[in-house]
Amino acid sequence: MLKKMIAKLVLFGLLVCGSQAVLQVSISLNKVELSVGESKFFTCTVIGEPVSLTWYSPQGEPIVSTQRVVLHTEGVRSRLTIYNAIVEDAGIYRCQAKDAKGQSQEATVVLEIYQKLTFRSVQTPQEFRQSEDAEVVCDVISSPVPAVSWFYKNKEILSEPNNRFQVLPNNNLQIMRVGKSDEGEYRCEARVEARGEIDFRNIAVVVNVPPVLSVPQQSFNATADAEESVTFTCITSGSPDPEVTWHRKGQQIESSDQHVLGSLEGGRSMLTVRSVGKGDGGPYTCRATNKAGVLESQLVLKVFVQPHITQLRNVTAVEGSAALISCSAEGEPLPEVSWRRGSDGQSFSDGDKSADGRVEARGRNGKSMLTINGVRLTDLGRFDCEAHSRIGEHQKSMYLDIEYAPKFQNNHTIFYSWEGNPVNISCEVMSNPPATILWRRERYTISSEPTANTRVHSGPGRSQLEVTPMSERDFGRYNCTARNNIGARYQEFILAQADVPSNPYSVRLTAVAQRIATVAFMTPDSHGGVPIGHYVVNYKESSNQQWRSAKSHGVQSTVMLSSLEPNTTYVVRVAAVNGKGQGEYSHTETFQTLPIREPSPPTVHGQRGVGKAYRLGLIKQDDGGMPIVEYIVKYKPDKDDQWMTKLVPGVHEFALLQPLQWNTRYSVEITARNIKGLSEPTYFQFLMPQKPDITADSLFSSLGLGTVVGLGVAALLLLLVLVDVSCFFLRQCGLLMCLTRRLCSRKSATSAKGKELEEGKAAYLGDGSKEPIVEMRTEEERITNAEDGSPVNEPTETTPLTEPEKLPLKEENGKEVLKPDTIEIKVRGENSHHTNAGDSKA
Ligand SMILES: *[C@@H]1O[C@H](CO)[C@@H](O)[C@H](O)[C@H]1NC(C)=O
Ligand SMILES: *[C@@H]1O[C@H](CO)[C@@H](O)[C@H](O)[C@H]1NC(C)=O
Ligand SMILES: *[C@@H]1O[C@H](CO)[C@@H](O)[C@H](O)[C@H]1NC(C)=O
Ligand SMILES: *[C@@H]1O[C@H](CO)[C@@H](O)[C@H](O)[C@H]1NC(C)=O
Ligand SMILES: *[C@@H]1O[C@H](CO)[C@@H](O)[C@H](O)[C@H]1NC(C)=O
Ligand SMILES: *[C@@H]1O[C@H](CO)[C@@H](O)[C@H](O)[C@H]1NC(C)=O
């Protein structure tokens, strides 16, 4: 203000003395402070009549207009504009005016330039690697030079010796061995004391930690092609969190169906290899990467492969040659290969030999070769190749087929026939491959088409030549020729003329009886080439001329002659017959049949009968040449003296003795009789058992449900009768009343019935008990059944003495025997038995 007033006064003074022609120069400002980058202008005004007006720079040079420093002169005024001031612009600027006389006057202005606080490229955040010496940059300028302070967590960092934090001369902050804990916001503050100017920047410090990597499991096992999965795990840490990638064979593994990448919290990264295969084995790399660094670790996958036989073929060898069988197998670890012979289960590993030294195995590296020298037919069959490793085994089979020249199977090379008789000459051949079979005679092949006397029947491994010999010429040798690609063989057959058999010999007679005799003989030494069909026995009475003949059953060497005459001499001879005809007779043999005589005693075997009967089996012995007429059976209880006799026809095979007493021993004498006379007797004894105990229980069970019900009904009827009787007496009514009335009206009709009733009653009482009736009835029934309706025969076997008692039975049929009235007879029969026996004795 003061300056302005002075300037005005000066200007006023100049104006006042302008007329004196002295130039007066003035500048609008005489001292200016300017901050870098600001713009300002100064105006220089001259009073008077100047001819030139010039500005001089602080360096004393006249100022020429530039882009930044611009001059603008107009009459007595000149304006100097400085745009975007720089430090170098500072200094004293002069404005000089010259008049026509060349006198100059000037004015000056002092320009002072200063630098404000300026932060240059102060970056945030600033990143460092852990444990390095970090220098946090704070590039600040000003003029005069600023004072810089650093703050961390609102506290100033003081540069003391041994402090990890030092403010460097260039104002940067140095942090020795920077750590994660040093992270945070730092403040860089600058001050210019002279101007009281202050400014700051907040700088974020970030400490990066290089990756750390750990692998819980480094080596993995897996089996190939078993749908197995393997998961590798890598645990990483670091700051910032590292990125994990997986690599194999120098290539990064991308996520795919087979490779599944994954990660979990806590820095766990996983790689899952699915469906592990043979080719998936080997090293895998886990790589962790962040700003601070890279770290890798290797994991190994070991892939095991089950043994697998890759090559094994069926082999065909020619008999006698050597067979080579090879077997190859793969697997990890490489399997060992061995062999097993199917026929006997013997094993061959590398170096093994069979007992006979023909079979040998050699192998290594998953391969084995089985060599069979001098192959035999018995080597044919299955061989198993077995590949075995620690983790498993695989087995495959092959078949050794053996080719060989035809072999003839049959020894039978001579066949017999006769003219007109067809015969099959059979040729059996074994061969591999199958042989073709041809028949030859001398040089000619016999046509396989039927001819007049030959016919070929072929089947697998066999050919039959059917020859029907017509003449002598057709007998002789025939060749069976079999051929396959291994060789040809022939077998010679002979078709010989058959002859009749030679004579049988050693004819002798066995078992000569009255009417029969058996001829035995030795078979002929020669059957003539074809089998003997049968034998013919000729025989005749020695006095007779006419031979009679009998045939053997097939080739039995005994023949039975029958229908012979007793007490007669016979001659006999034998001949054999085959297809060709009858051979010679043997020498003749003579024998004499036995004369008629009494029969031999019969053989007896007891069979217990049912109830009070006993069945005695009779076996006919030699009948002495005439039929047995009858058997005379005498029997008695041991304690008795009288015999009872029963005659049984000779054709019967048993005698039924009945009725007998319980618990009694009987003696029997049996004699056979033919017309010649009586045999010696056969003796026999038997014991009748205890009477069976029939209790109510068994009665009921034998009576059955029906009877039990019947008893109940009877009881009811009795009650009714009681009621009826009481009615009859008390009220003269009821059924009984009615009956009595009716009876009175028909007296004649009831008399017979009453008599019958009385008789039944008498029988009942006479017996003393009800039981025997029941017993007899069941017993009789059973016997009849056992004999199958044959009791009709029974009476005829009994003696005339016992006949009367049986008479009714004779006329009755088996079933009618069961009728109630016959029970009565039976009971009586038992009673009368003893008396009858007594009679017989008398
Ligand atoms: C893998 O197999 C080898 C050989 O059999 C064995 O020694 C090793 O312990 C196995 N490793 C694992 C992780 O099962
Ligand atoms: C080997 O021979 C057997 C029996 O003859 C047969 O079943 C099988 O198919 C054959 N194998 C080959 C590969 O020819
Ligand atoms: C063939 O005959 C011989 C001796 O005569 C005999 O040892 C062999 O077993 C016979 N073979 C056959 C197949 O009949
Ligand atoms: C020969 O064998 C064939 C076939 O086996 C048969 O049909 C024929 O009847 C046999 N001939 C004779 C005489 O046995
Ligand atoms: C059978 O064949 C052999 C060899 O070829 C020959 O020597 C023999 O004479 C033949 N026999 C007949 C009956 O053809
Ligand atoms: C058997 O016959 C001879 C003579 O032919 C005769 O003397 C003898 O008496 C007879 N014997 C009998 C038991 O008939």
Domain ranges of the chain: 2-114, 118-208, 215-304, 313-404, 409-497, 505-592, 599-696+761-842
Q: Retrieve residue 783's tokens.
A: 């016997």
Residue 121 banded pLDDT, cuts 50, 70, 90: confident
Ligand positioned closest to the Cα atom of 491: 5
What value does the mean pLDDT take over residues 595-619? 87
Distance 440 CA to ligand 5 centre (A): 8
Residue-wise DSSP of 215-231? -S--EEEEETTS---EE
* Exposure b/e, 518-553, CB count within 10 A at least 16 = b: ebbbebbeebbbbebbebbbbbbeeeeeeeeebebe
Pocket flag, ligand 1, residue 219 (CB < 6 Å): yes
* pLDDT of res. 272: 96
What is the Å distance from ligand 5's center to 402 Cα?
Answer: 28
Average pLDDT over residues 366-389: 94
Q: How far is the CA of 434 from the centre of ligand 3 (A)?
A: 23
Instruction: Give the integer Cα–Cα distance in Å for 107 and 56.
Output: 10
Mean pLDDT to the nearest integer, 706-714: 60
Residue 5 pLDDT level (bands cut at 50, 70, 90): low
pLDDT digits (tens, 9 = 90+) for 223-281: 998 899 999 999 999 999 999 999 999 999 999 999 999 999 989 999 999 999 989 99
Q: For residue range 446-458, what is the model confidence (pLDDT) as tens digits?
A: 998 999 889 999 9
Among 140-144, 242-246, 608-612, the range with the most confident prediction by mean pLDDT is: 242-246
Cα of 496 from ligand 5 centre, angstroms: 17
Predicted confidence at residue 673, as pLDDT, reads 93
pLDDT band at 770 (very low <50, low <70, confident <90, very high): very low
Ligand 4 atom nearest 424 alpha carbon = 1
Candidate of 542, 565, 567, 674 to mutate for ligand 6, largest count of ligand atoms within 8 Å of Cβ: 567
pLDDT band at 102 (very low <50, low <70, confident <90, very high): confident
Per-residue pLDDT band for 739 (boundaries 50, 70, 90) equals low
Which residue has a Cα nearest atom 14 of ligand 1?
221
How many angstroms does the Cα of residue 421 sit away from the middle of ligand 4?
12
- Could you tell me the pLDDT band of residue 409, with boundaries at 50, 70 and 90? very high
Q: What is the CATH number of domain 599-696+761-842?
A: 2.60.40.10
**Ligand 6 site, residue 567, Cβ cutoff 6 A:** yes
Specify the residue with its C-alpha closest to ligand 6, atom 12.
595
Q: Is 218 in the pocket of ligand 1 (CB under 6 A)?
A: no
Q: How far apart are CA 201 and CA 125, in angstroms?
A: 11
Sign of CA dihedral 31, 36, 40, 43: positive
Which of 154-168, 192-206, 301-315, 802-816 comes out lowest in average pLDDT? 802-816
Residue 608 CA to ligand 3 centre (angstroms): 61
pLDDT at 25: 92
Average pLDDT over residues 344-360: 92
Q: How far is the CA of 493 from the centre of ligand 5 (A)?
A: 10
Closest ligand relative to 579 C-alpha: 4
Q: Looking at mean pLDDT, say which of 263-277, 711-725, 743-757, 769-783 comes out highest.
A: 263-277
Output the pLDDT for position 162: 84
Q: Token digits for 409?
A: 């199977």
Which residue's alpha carbon is at the smallest distance from atom 7 of ligand 5? 442
pLDDT band at 749 (very low <50, low <70, confident <90, very high): very low
Nearest to 516 by CA among 593, 597, 624: 593
The tokens for 546 are: 């006419």
Percent share of the chain, pLDDT over 70: 80
Kindly state the average pLDDT of the residues 814-818: 38
Number of the ligand closest to the Cα of 411 = 3
**Which protein residue has the closest C-alpha to ligand 6 atom 13?**
595
Integer Cα distance of 210 and 241 in angstroms: 9
Residue nearest to atom 14 of ligand 6 (CA): 595
Confidence of residue 412 (pLDDT cuts 50, 70, 90): confident
Residues with CB under 6 A from ligand 3: 409, 411
Q: Which residue's CA is minimally distant from atom 12 of ligand 2?
A: 314
Among protein residues, the one whose CA lies closest to atom 3 of ligand 1: 221
The mean pLDDT of 193-210, rounded to a whole number, is 94
Span of 228-237, 623-632, 701-710, 758-767 with lowest mean pLDDT = 758-767
Mean pLDDT of the chain: 83
pLDDT of amino acid 705: 54
Tally of helices (H runs) and strands (E runs) in the chain: 8, 58
pLDDT, mean of residues 502-511: 94
CA of 346 relative to ligand 2 center, distance in Å: 21
What is the rounded distance in angstroms from the CA atom of residue 10 to the CA atom of residue 107? 12
In the structure, what pLDDT confidence band is assigned to residue 626 with cuts at 50, 70 and 90? Answer: confident
Looking at ligand 5, which residue's alpha carbon is closest to its atom 6?
Answer: 442
pLDDT at 740: 54
Q: What is the pLDDT of residue 205?
A: 95
| For residue 35, pLDDT beyond 70 | yes
Would you say residue 756 has pLDDT above 80? no
Percent of the chain with pLDDT over 90: 61
pLDDT at residue 192 greater than cutoff 80: yes
More confident residue, 819 or 706: 706
Mean pLDDT of 10-28: 65
Q: 7 pLDDT band (50/70/90 cuts)?
A: low
- Starting from the CA of residue 464, give the closest ligand: 4
Nearest CA to ligand 3 atom 11: 411
Please identify, in words, the CATH class of the domain defined by 313-404: mainly beta
Q: Looking at ligand 2, which residue's alpha carbon is closest to its atom 4?
A: 399
The class (CATH top level) of 118-208 is: mainly beta
pLDDT higher at 364 or 300: 300
Tell me if 569 CB under 6 Å of ligand 6: no
Q: Which residues line ligand 4 (CB under 6 A)?
A: 422-424, 457, 464, 466
Judged by its nearest atom, the ligand closest to the C-alpha of residue 312 is: 2
The protein residue with its alpha carbon nearest to ligand 4, atom 11, reads 424
Fold of 215-304: Immunoglobulin-like (2.60.40)
Whether 542 lines ligand 6, by a CB cut-off of 6 Å, is: no
Window from 334-343, 380-389, 562-571, 690-699 with minimum mean pLDDT: 690-699
What pLDDT does residue 729 have?
A: 60
How many Å apart are CA 305 and CA 366, to the nearest integer?
13
The CATH number corresponding to 505-592 among 3.30.70.2520, 2.60.40.10, 1.10.3720.10, 2.60.40.2470 equals 2.60.40.10
Report whether residue 595 contacts ligand 6, using a CB cutoff of 6 Å.
yes
User: Ligand 6 centre from 508 Cα, in Å?
Assistant: 23
Decide if pLDDT at 716 tops 90. Answer: no
Q: Are 204 and 124 in contact (CB under 8 A)?
A: yes
Is 505-592 in the same CATH topology as 2-114?
yes
What CATH number labels 409-497? 2.60.40.10
Q: Atom of ligand 2 at shortest distance to CA of 398?
A: 1
Residue 427: per-residue pLDDT: 95
| Ligand index nearest the alpha carbon of residue 424 | 4
Beta-carbon contacts of residue 10 (< 8 Å; ≥ 6 apart): 24, 26
Q: Which fold has domain 2-114?
A: Immunoglobulin-like (2.60.40)
Q: Is 813's pLDDT higher than 60?
A: no
Give the pLDDT confidence score for residue 411 in this predicted structure. Answer: 85
